[in-house]
Structure 1
Amino acid sequence: MAQQNAFGSLGTTGSGSVFAGNNFDTNGGSITFATPATDSDVDTRCLPAWRLTDPRDDRTRILASKDDLLAGSCDWILDEAAFAQWWKDDESRIFWIHGDPGKGKTMMMMALTEEIARRVGETLNPKAATAFFFCQNTVPELSNAAAIVRGLTFLLATEQPALQTHLARKYAEAGERLFEGVNVLPSLWTTLTNMAQDASVSRLYLLVDALDECEQDSLRMFLNLAISPAASRRIKWVFTSRNEQHITQRLRSRHNTSLELNTTHVSNAVSLFIRHKTLQLAKEKGYSRTVLQGVQQYLDDNAHGTFLWVALVCKALNDEEVYEWNMAEVMKLFPAELEPLYKRMLQQLRQVKMKEHVIFRERLLCAVTVACRPLTVDEVGYIANLPDRHAGNAQAIQNFVSSCGSFLTIRKKTIYFVHQSAKDYFTTGSGCMIFPCGQPQAHEQLARRLLDSMSQTLTTDILGVRWPGTQVHESVDGVVYQRLPLHVQYACCHWTDHVKAGGMTLEDGGVVHGFLQARLLMLFEALGWLGRVSDGIEAMRQLADMTEQTGQNLQILLQDALRLVRYSRKAIEQAPLQIYSSALIFAPKNSVVRQVFSQAIPRWMRQLPSVEQDWSACLQTLEGHSS
């Protein structure tokens, strides 16, 4: 009975249509074919669909989050023998810069993107093109190899319109499914190779920053493709990364520059950075020349060629409680090297009179550490399980994040770690002490809170549009955010990630099974409004794999849900309320989802179409190609 109340009823008047695979007349509305896409439609939709992220926007955002790139600080790399040979030799396809955290690799890549674009422009060769990509472990769209190739091909097609035909051809073959499944990277790589071989191209200069922040399995495949003798010789790569073994063993034989072996150049650049930061500090705080020189000397003695260490210490010295008279004493509290510095900063964070605030700060740090993407000010309080009086208070959240300023920063209401090494400190370093029961337990606790949040929020026709044919583009953003707050959106898109990371046992009758039996259709309706149906499909597939040994009935439900959503995917993506009508009414009679959610079929549908008993062999074959 509770299930019936949860579903309610959908309206049957108005101009809405129900999209499905067959024509079927009803007494309340019309079920019609969706119009087949033409070649021009594919061309129009292709580039926006290909755009997972725009690397140009990522570059601008990352650049804004860092200190200014000082003129001339990276010029030495251009005179390096390895770079010079890579640039001049047509057979030299890879140049790799590697070094420890905080050594300035990303800023060096920023300088190289400008320099190589300038050189290409000066050659007046319209057949040469450049593209770049900045990996970030904290952003899902920037942390896997498929995203790298997708971003590069998008940028190339944007800058060189003649190359868009390669994207359109691939998109016409597979549509959105091009970006799903185990063959995404090889498929996208083929597109990149075809672009490189296009008659309009003579050379592609492709730059990828922070390979170490890319998911390892896909990165191995990416590097194997890049170094393969069969790889296009028209592509010249520039990579940066930390000194990690799985990267080193593939790139050590290529032209490369080690920042640890170029300490003089790096130290000179860091010294220039120290002068710049301390002059800023002296100007803001009104320090005398003597104090300024003392700060510069301490930083020079302890920086050890690490830009990030200098930036963090200068930020701490700019605190309002640091004065000229206690500067020397405060300064000496900051040890050399990043790990001891982070440890000191965590100790300071815990040294406040109100223990409750220490708990809130650590909850925030825990949430930001385990989150699948950067969290916003509006959602982090709920995800971190802060008390209600703080969770929805943007100013309180900003104050708590600011008190964690040594580790976190806010840009456009989104919270980021100041550097990947800060996240590493809490993930694998001694900072993991903030997880008293370990990170898997933190993931499981978060997964349960997300399930609870969705159970309390998701309902049929959550936007209140009533008409089954209302399409996604007709929805109003304000209503979406009101009915699906950001923390609920996060839950819908990422709850399964935390179930998996938490190692939760998926069993018949368990919390996940119960949630899906009550809210599966509502979940996919919400994902439809959010444009994330493909993410839901992948999540269900992963859950089904996890239930092989523990939950037979749960696995049957998941597999049936996959078939139903894949079969009606286009309809759900266009008009999400179709999950209750066309998706259900055209499901086979023996469909588990149809049987569990039979009361969700709109009551105005008095005459239902004749359907098969079970899913067709054809659909199951298609299912195998989509996974």
Structure 2
Amino acid sequence: MENSRNFSRNKVGRNATVVLGNITVSANTPNADKSFLQAISKTDPAHDKNRILLLKGPLLWDAFNWIFGHQEFNKWRYTKESGVFWIKGDPGKGKTMLLCGIIEDLDQSPQNANLSYFFCQATDYRINTASAVVGGLIKSLLKRHPTLLSRIREKYADEVQDELDGTNALVILCDIFETITNDPDLKDIICVVDALDECITDCKYLLDFIVKTSGHVKWLLSSRNEKDIEKGLDQIPQRLVLELKDNAEKISTSIEAYIRHHIQEIKALKHDEELQVKTLDILSSKAQGTFLWVALVVEQLHDTDRWDIENVLEEVPKDLESLYGLILDRTERLGARGQEVCRVILSIIATAKRPLHLEELLIFTNSHWKNSSHFKNTYQLQDIQDMTKTCGSILSIREDTVYFIHQSAKDYVMENAAQRIFPILHQHYKMFEASLDAMSKILEYNMYCLEDPAIHIDDVPHKDVGSDPVTSIRYCCVFWVEHLVSGYQFEGFDYQKYLKDDKKLHLFLKEKFLCWVESLALMRNFSPQAQIALQKLKDLIDCYCCSGKNDETVQAAQLQRNIETYGLRHFVYDAYRFVRNSIESVAHWPLQLYFSAISFEQHNTTIRNVFEQTVRKRFGPSPILTSQQHGQSSFRLQSSFKASKNDSISDKWLVFSPDSSLIIQLCWASSVNAFAVWRADTGTLVHTFDITPDSRIAFFPKSNDFISVSETGIIKRWSMNKPSCVSNL
């Protein structure tokens, strides 16, 4: 728009009243490429691969090198044609480690400079969507080509900034991907996607996109043998398929190598060759080509004394699901308290939207037992780590984060043991309650004690786990509304406690809303999480107020609910609008939440009232924006603006130059006649002009020259390069 103006790193001071035009906060920073990549993908596929190798163990060449002699694989790898190579197999058959080995080998070849990859995981919301897959592949490619990254950023910066958090995200990402892969400088592009079946959002569209691009991109995919995936890939003429069960002999040899390696590390088998051979024979005969099964049994053997090794080997069942059942059955030997610990830990980890850090898990477990007569509610980090280990091999702790050992383990817990362990809707409800309580206690304003209101998010120092005040509530801040929406369906949900004015939810918002928004910004999770959460909260409250059939009794109940939730609904509506309008500034400058962002709030909004009641005493008086025209919304103001301040100068007028590089200030008092020009980015005084105080000014459209018009009708033309007027008109 012609009248739009850009502020770059704008800092609004105290005690100022400003009227200004349409403003777009610029996100240009010295780390523009880094910020662009972060917006494209919230995770780094290279880091995900390293995490997988930490979780599953090191790559063993003898466990996967058979693939490099496979005829179909080599046909895909060495042919000049593009297409798809699909590796499919049952859970636990080693697909992920096989792809890790292939990636390592491909990465060592100079001709494979255009390799990208992505690992899906259904248990982690950051890497289980089609948008995440395409974004991760883009990030993986662009990191290898900095020059191309700069070109792509310049072309797509606006789309990424404005729409990547909305419904058009996948469309934009696919467009960027095709632009990259069609670049004439990039040849022989290879894209690897592991666990395609664990892409739980828009997987069909991802399959369609793979089909569309298979003519100029080589795709390597792995997944379970699912009909929808097979149907989607059937459309590709150059499709090659490797079914792991059809390669049983090769897999069996790899399993044996895998077992031999791990047997050497079992303390109870040291220096006992006969028992080692027996262990190898039993494990090889029972493994049925399942690496995960071997890993689970080996982990049990690490905790087994020598005298009991043979009993454990004989007892262990052959199939993976039965093994999960046995692991859970063994928790019954722990007694009532031990069983309760396992039940609570498993219910929390299974219900969580992503793997939990031990600090986050501690919040939920302490909350669960806060009123228990058998458990404390002040357990420490080491306690929760020990409790997690009682759940056996189903859970794993890596870098203080708790994971299911495999997606199949979570599937088993959710599908076969849910009734025995926990009712899912009730657990969502409890996690919502725990999140709300924890945020109410821990959230504060200016959590990182930042001194500069103009500090950019890229300049906010990253804190380690021990010093970060939001570590324990990171999960709560992001997902509390998700758990509320699911817990709302629980038949024991307490509507009176949470969905009425001035009750727990409403009070939390009135006291902590702004610092909740700040915490999301500090966590680099403000956009789009805050807006999505508030939209879901709006929908939930509307659903509560309008639920029921259309009869007189229900209508009366609906009217009563509307009355009882009026303040809560009004707050959430204002909060949604506030977040939507401040999303650009707060995402990049977190503390501007309390300065420029709050300045655009009208005086009668709930958000302004919250600021006045809870924040003003900490941050001092805020800027107050006033419209140039009576009754005009403070969100669409004039392109010229008026600033007033209680000092010796009676009045000031400010206006931008056409290219937004200059701010012009006209002020006068009894002893002052001055027209000052300042650089918008540095605040440096450029020029002063002698113009009568009754004048109004206007710039020429395509230059920084301007004209002044006095009340007596005298028109003068001025140039920024000369202190006096150029001509009288």
TM-score range, shorter chain: 0.7 to 0.9
Q: 1:519 aligns with which of 512, 522, 528?
A: 512
DSSP 3-state at the match of 2:85: strand
Quote the residue 1:559 is aligned against: 573
Going from structure 1 to structure 2, the CA distance change for 1:257 and 1:25 (only over 3 Å counts) comes to: closer
Quote the residue 1:428 is aligned against: 415
Quote the residue 2:390 is aligned against: 403
Kept in 1, the 8 Å contact 2:83–2:214? The answer is: no
Kept in 2, the 8 Å contact 1:196–1:203? The answer is: no
DSSP 3-state at the match of 1:255: strand
Q: Is 1:455 matched with 2:440?
A: yes
How far does residue 508 in structure 1 lie from its aligned partner after superposition?
A: 4.8
1: CA distance between counterparts of 2:413 and 2:177?
Answer: 37
CA offsets 1:161-219 (integer angstroms, 9 cap, x no match): 2321353135421353443011111111111110111121122100011112222x322
Quote the residue 1:6 is aligned against: none
Q: Is 1:307 matched with 2:291?
A: yes
Q: Is 1:117 matched with 2:107?
A: yes
How far does residue 96 in structure 1 lie from its aligned partner after superposition?
A: 0.7
Q: 1:536 aligns with which of 530, 539, 542?
A: 530
Q: 1:226 aligns with which of 206, 210, 213?
A: 210
1: CA distance between counterparts of 2:341 and 2:444?
Answer: 31
If each structure's strand is expressed as a fraction of its own residues, which one has the higher value? 2
2: CA distance between counterparts of 1:473 and 1:50?
Answer: 16
Equivalent residue letter for 2:531: I
Q: 1:207 aligns with which of 185, 192, 196?
A: 192
Equivalent residue letter for 2:356: L
Q: Which moved more, 1:291-300 or 1:202-211?
A: 291-300
CA offsets 1:206-242 (integer angstroms, 9 cap, x no match): 0011112222x322111111113xx362211001011
How far does residue 90 in structure 1 lie from its aligned partner after superposition?
A: 4.5
- The unaligned stretches of length 5 or more in structure 1 are 1-18, 620-627
Quote the residue 2:70 is aligned against: 80
DSSP 3-state at the match of 2:189: strand
Q: Where in structure 2 are the equivalents of 1:417-496 lying within 5 Å?
A: 417-430=404-417, 433-435=420-422, 438-465=423-450, 468-469=453-454, 472=457, 484-496=469-481
CA offsets 1:358-417 (integer angstroms, 9 cap, x no match): 212221121111112221222312222365757552222222222223112221111222
Q: Where in structure 2 are the equivalents of 1:201-280 lying within 5 Å?
A: 201-215=186-200, 217-228=201-212, 231=213, 233-252=215-234, 254-280=239-265
DSSP 3-state at the match of 1:137: coil
Quote the residue 2:356 is aligned against: 375
Kept in 2, the 8 Å contact 1:383–1:487? The answer is: no
Going from structure 1 to structure 2, the CA distance change for 1:335 and 1:614 (only over 3 Å counts) comes to: farther
Q: Where in structure 2 are the equivalents of 1:499-510 lying within 5 Å?
A: 499-504=484-489, 507-509=499-501
Quote the residue 2:61 is aligned against: 71
1: CA distance between counterparts of 2:611 and 2:78?
Answer: 65
Equivalent residue letter for 1:27: N
Q: How many pairs are equivalent?
A: 587
Equivalent residue letter for 2:380: N
Q: TM-score, normalised by structure 2?
A: 0.73
Q: Which moved more, 1:467-476 or 1:202-211?
A: 467-476
Q: With CA pairs under 8 Å and 6+ residues apart, which has the higher RCO, 1 or 2?
A: 1
**Percentage of pairs with the same residue:** 30
Higher alpha-carbon Rg: 2
Q: CA RMSD in A?
A: 3.4
Kept in 2, the 8 Å contact 1:196–1:232? The answer is: no
Quote the residue 1:186 is aligned against: 171
Equivalent residue letter for 2:573: Q
- The unaligned stretches of length 5 or more in structure 2 are 1-6, 371-375, 490-494, 546-561, 638-729
Q: Where in structure 2 are the equivalents of 1:157-172 lying within 5 Å?
A: 157-172=142-157
Equivalent residue letter for 1:144: T
2: CA distance between counterparts of 1:444 and 1:468?
Answer: 37
Q: Which moved more, 1:481-490 or 1:187-196?
A: 481-490
If each structure's helix is expressed as a fraction of its own residues, which one has the higher value? 1
2: CA distance between counterparts of 1:251 and 1:489?
Answer: 39
Equivalent residue letter for 1:349: T
Going from structure 1 to structure 2, the CA distance change for 1:317 and 1:614 (only over 3 Å counts) comes to: farther
How far does residue 513 in structure 1 lie from its aligned partner after superposition?
A: 4.0
Kept in 1, the 8 Å contact 2:269–2:275? The answer is: no
